Amino acid sequence: MKRLGAALAAASLMMVAACGTSASDDAGAGPWTYKDDLGTKISLDAKPQRLLVQSSVAAALTDLGLGDEIVGTFGPLKNADGGPDSQVAGLDIGKVPDVTGGGEYGSIDLEKAASLKPDLVVTSAYLKSDLWYVNDATAKKLKQLAPIMVVSFDGKTLPGMLDSTERAAKALGADLDSATVTKAHGDFAAAAKRVEQAGKDLGTKKILVGSPAQDVFYVSNPKVSPDLMYWRDKLKLPIVVPTKPDKGGYFQTLSWEKADLYPADVLLYDDRVGKAGLALFDDQPVFQTLQAAKDKAYIPWTSVAPPSYRAYADIMNRLADDLEKYAS
């Protein structure tokens, strides 16, 4: 702990605070300032070059050309089946150190993080200032090591979420006019058209989005989740809206005895549960009365993914492929 304290103190002395009133996205030489989505103004004496990044955001920044500046990650890297997690698609999980702590949710190995000498920590927030994979106690200590930049997804639809990530990436030096990024935007638009058409081809069929757990069934809310919101409101997918979502709004918790509360001809299930989670459906007699269960019309849903146009173009193309199987 003494070594950690010394490292934190040394890193803190290297940060320069500024008192300006306006944020700048200038990624050039000289002082660097940025106001993040939570309104926090970050000021450094130069553009940050060493980034410690939450894993799914790290994958997005890699898509945007900033992979070489990521010195460490925290958060999920492998799925329930032991393979690379869909949350970090495109990220070489063996390339950079993982500083995820071994304790409660949102803990970070601070001594290991300090050894990486990051200039900036980057994460996201789905609910106001609730940092993704950084709990409050860890955040207080982490801020002694480096400022925390937050990309907020709260209240945003999918394009808004992706644009917020690109705004942060641009401030960090990403070239948003590059051929790779331009192609990703085009691929996203084309995939969106495919999903929209697949939804029309479902006819009167209904899509339920949910996640199984041992004792309960979570029904996701398309009025809150950025991707589901976009698919339902913009692309007109017939996604069922739960009438009594839990606090936070992202889902409604049902007992398995009430798993037939909402109609379901097609089920999008949270792919984080893995094969073992998917098998839970087979043991629930009430759930098995749903048409989706009778037809085994199960489609994996990547509920947490790299917030990049490239990643979601891929996700939506796979979604269109799967939905096309159930056209009326």
Give the integer Cα–Cα distance in Å for 200 and 162. Answer: 25
pLDDT of residue 28: 52
Give the integer Cα–Cα distance in Å for 50 and 52. Answer: 7
Q: What is the pTM of this model?
A: 0.88
pLDDT one digit per residue (tens) for the chain, 328 residues = 333 333 333 333 333 333 332 334 444 568 999 999 999 999 999 999 999 999 999 999 999 999 999 999 999 998 877 778 899 999 999 888 999 998 889 999 999 999 999 999 999 999 887 999 999 999 999 999 999 999 999 999 999 999 999 999 999 999 999 999 999 999 999 999 999 999 999 999 999 999 999 999 999 999 999 999 999 999 999 999 999 999 989 999 999 999 999 999 999 999 999 889 999 999 999 999 999 999 999 999 999 999 999 999 999 999 999 999 999 8
The residues that bridge with 149 in the sheet, in sequence order, are 122
E-strand stretches of the chain: 32-35, 41-44, 51-54, 70-74, 120-127, 130-131, 148-152, 207-212, 216-220, 251-255, 266-270, 298-301
Beta strands 120-127; 51-54: pairing state: parallel
pLDDT of residue 328: 85
Q: Go through the domains of the chain in sequence order and give each one's CATH number.
A: 2-176 (3.40.50.1980), 181-326 (3.40.50.1980)
